Each structure stands twice: as structure tokens, then as C-alpha cells.
Amino acid sequence: MQRKYGEQTDIFFSLYTQSGNDTFYETTSIATGDIYVSIDGDANTIKNSNNAASRYDSDMAGIYTLTLDATEMTGQSVQIRIQDTDATKVYKDTFIGIETYGHDSARHRMDMDFPTMALNFTSTAAGTTTTVLCNDLGATNDVYIDRAIIFKGNTLDKRVAFIEDYTYSTGSDSYLSISEVHTTCVSGQEFYIL
């Protein structure tokens, strides 16, 4: 399961009775004392969830939803253990693992949210076979690392490269360092960043 780094999210999970016959466990909520959250598997970060889990829908017996707040989503991975702490356990323990994306500190730096999946730009100066110059890419260094770049038109039409670095520059063109393509990137080259 993947979720965006540092943003509140809802996750869904199921619980089963202790009887061993894979029957869904039905209740209206799971207390925060039964839900443990760890960031990046660090034992020092294990704590009870900031929120209780609740039954997802009265017609969906055994399915629950849990809201993790932004502070609980600030690791490369987030581990959640749901464990009945009552002396007489009524449901089986369960584990949920989440990998994060969309931030330099996330497991996956690429932002996979739909509105930013394909960004369209045009080069503002001639580059090389390993650089694309453009002054419209924003002021955050390294934000495009590990993304793909697809060229449209000119001599690079339909060529794909991978972005290895992004360097922002004030007063001149910022540039993307890319895996090598067969010819230089000309000024006015349209491209997409995925």
C-alpha cells in the first residue's frame, strides 16, 4: 500500500474473530489503545494511533477504516499493528505496511498524485545529449529525480530518458540532467515529465 508522505490519509483493513474459522469480527470501533503505529520500523517511534478505527459501513461487517494524520505519515514506511489488548482476545492481530511517496524523505520521491503525473514544458535554450535547459521548472532542486522525461516533436520525438538530477538557477536557465539521448536537445523542444 502506498500513500503520500506527510498527508492525512484513510486506510481500510479487515479483522477476523479468534475462532479460527475466518469469520469477520464485527464491532463499531477499535480503540486507539489497540492500534500501534511505527515510523520506519524504529522501536522508538512506536505509539498508539492518534485516531480510533471505525466500522467502514454497516453493510460491510468486519471492514474498518483508520485515519492516519499527517504526523503519522512522515517516514519512508509506516507500520500499523492492530492487536486486541483485552485479556480475552476477540479478534486476530493484523498488520498493515505503508510506503510513502512524493517527498525527498519518502520511500519513493516521485509524486504519484494524478494532477502531477504528466507535466508539460518547453526547453528555453539548447542543451546537450545529457541536459535539458528550461526556466519554467520551479525553484526546488532535485524534485524531478527518478522521473521519466518524454520528448515530443523535433529530432527527439518519442525519445524517453530518465532524470538523474535537477538544478535550479536564478538569472539563467535551470537544467535537468538526464540519461543520454541520441542528439542534443534544441531550444523550443516540447517535453513531458512523468
User: For the ranges 104-108, 110-114, 150-154, 164-168, which has the lowest average pLDDT?
Assistant: 110-114
Give the per-residue pLDDT at 117.
59
Give the per-residue pLDDT at 104.
86
Give the per-residue pLDDT at 50.
95
Question: pTM of the predicted model, to two decimals?
Answer: 0.61
Amino acid identity at 89: K
Residue 139 has pLDDT above 90, yes or no: no
**Checking DSSP bridges between strand 131-134 and strand 174-178, what pairing results, if any?**
antiparallel
Beta bridge partners of 16: 24
Q: N- to C-terminal Cα distance for the chain?
A: 21
Beta bridge partners of 127: none
Specify the CATH architecture of the domain 2-101: Sandwich (2.60)
Which cell goes with 15?
479483522
Strands, E assignment, 24-154: 29-30, 35-39, 47-48, 53-55, 63-68, 77-82, 94-101, 119-122, 131-134, 148-152
Domain 118-193 in the same topology as domain 2-101:
no
**Checking DSSP bridges between strand 2-4 and strand 35-39, what pairing results, if any?**
unpaired
Q: Is 150 helix (H, G, I), strand (E, B) or coil?
A: strand
Residue 25 has pLDDT above 80, yes or no: yes
Confidence at 145, pLDDT banded by 50, 70, 90: confident
How far is 48 from 38, CA to CA, in rounded Å? 9
Give the per-residue pLDDT at 17.
92
Of all residues in the chain, what percent carry a pLDDT higher than 70? 96
Q: Is 140 left (phi over 0), alpha (psi -120 to 50) or beta?
A: beta
User: How is the chain split into domains, by residue range?
Assistant: 2-101, 118-193
pLDDT tens track for 28-86 = 899 999 999 999 999 888 999 999 999 988 888 889 999 999 999 999 999 999 999 98
- Report the C-alpha dihedral over residues 100, 133, 150, 139, rounded to 10 degrees: 20
Q: Who wins on pLDDT, 141 or 154?
A: 154
Residue 116 has pLDDT above 60, yes or no: no
Q: Is 54 helix (H, G, I), strand (E, B) or coil?
A: strand
Give the per-residue pLDDT at 124.
87
Q: Which helix (H) or strand (E) holds 69?
A: none
- How large is the average pLDDT for residues 150-171? 85
Specify the CATH architecture of the domain 118-193: Beta Barrel (2.40)
Q: Who wins on pLDDT, 63 or 176?
A: 63
CB-count burial class (<10 Å; 0-12, 13-18, 19+) for 185: buried
Confidence at 119, pLDDT banded by 50, 70, 90: confident
